[in-house]
Amino acid sequence: MPMERRLTFTDLPEAKAVLGMKDEFLKTLQKEFPACQIVARGDEVIIIGDEPGISQVEEVIQMLRYLHRENTYMTTQHVRYSASLIRQGQGALLQSIYGDTVSISARGRLIKPKTAGQKQYVDSIRKNLVTFGIGPAGTGKTYLAVALASFYLKNREVERIILTRPAVEAGEKLGFLPGDLQEKIDPYLRPLYDALADMFGYDQFQKMVSRNIIEVAPLAYMRGRTLEESFIILDEAQNTTREQMKMFLTRMGNHSRVVVNGDITQIDLADRKLSGLTEAQRVLSNVRGIGMVQFTDEDVVRHDMVGRIIRAYEAFYKKQ
């Protein structure tokens, strides 16, 4: 015979936050636990089903309540991932993931890992002088690296942040774009600008750029430099050549930390050149002080559809 359990929220605002706008999180929770019936009434949730299912639903709701109290920006990904781990009996791992605050955004939002892969990535950056984050789009590699960079800068553990990426996607098309070289490559650096503006606020970010505390530049600008007391992030590293990768890694100076991000399934290099990221995986995997973190589709934190697309491509390529 089905059992019934009632959960009462602190107040109506908490209920609306935990259940989501237009009950979006509640609907996702219902999809994750189809054997249970989950009904919201005002500041109360009624769960009907068998004991194991009811307890798991309650555990997910309590985790969402915790995230709400922590001022975390919640999405359906939190609901799906929490449900997945709790069904596997790994609720304690969720505490470890969501209990870690990486930084605080300009709007006061706590930046936290959302998956076990992200937690491993964050821990690797803290532990190692060089960390490689390798995996599909939407796994938060760039955003988390920028969040950690902002934390190190605010705590004066580094003096500046340097973000770079190759402008390979442009290739010969750069000459057809209007403006000087910086204006031509700005579109390729936009994801880095957006993440930094979220961390510091747009006005503060612009001031820090003008004072050279934050530098966002194409990879070609790194040649011949020694980057000391800096947090350096190389994004879209799959589009570096082997020579560019070696050049970049040897720019590292004293009291600096380096993060290299990329997705080896999205290499845009011409003439089938060997990706510097692919080679670095093989050459540096056992070097002390270097961490290699591999993300999977389970770490995708964008819209649900992104994960589905990645899995579809992986299945297609396996058949080829």
pLDDT tens profile 242-256: 999 999 999 999 999
More confident residue, 121 or 194: 121
Burial readout 280-295 (b: 16 or more C-beta within 10 A, e: otherwise): bbeebeeeeebbbbeb
Tell me the pLDDT of the chain averaged across its residues: 88
What is the average pLDDT across 20-43? Answer: 94
pLDDT in tens, 108-125: 888 999 999 999 999 999
pLDDT attached to residue 182: 59
What is the average pLDDT across 270-286? Answer: 87
More confident residue, 175 or 182: 182
pLDDT attached to residue 170: 42
Distances from the Cα of 92 to the Cα of 29, 51, 111, 228, angstroms:
19, 20, 20, 39
pLDDT in tens, 291-320: 999 998 888 876 666 666 766 776 776 676
pLDDT attached to residue 312: 77
Q: Three-state secondary structure along the chain?
A: CCEEEEEECCCHHHHHHHHCHHHHHHHHHHHHCCCCEEEEECCEEEEEECHHHHHHHHHHHHHHHHHHHCCCCCCHHHHHHHHHHHHCCCHHHHHHHHCCCCEECCCCCEECCCCHHHHHHHHHHHHCCEEEEECCCCCCHHHHHHHHHHHHHHCCCCCEEEEEECCCCCHHHHHHCCCCHHHHHHHHHHHHHHHHHHHHCHHHHHHHHHCCCEEEEEHHHHCCCCECCEEEEECCHHHCEHHHHHHHHCCECCCCEEEEEECCCCCCCHHHCCEHHHHHHHHHCCCCCEEEEECCHHHCCCCHHHHHHHHHHHHHHHHC
Distances from the Cα of 107 to the Cα of 111, 194, 318, angstroms:
11, 14, 43
Min mean pLDDT across 5-14, 48-57, 164-173, 196-205 is at: 164-173
Q: How far apart are CA 84 and CA 307, in angstroms?
A: 15
Task: Answer yes or no: are the C-beta atoms of 276 and 240 closer than 8 Å.
Answer: yes
pLDDT attached to residue 173: 47
pLDDT attached to residue 115: 94
- Its pTM stands at 0.84
pLDDT bin (cut points 50, 70, 90) of residue 33 is very high
What is the average pLDDT across 224-233? Answer: 91
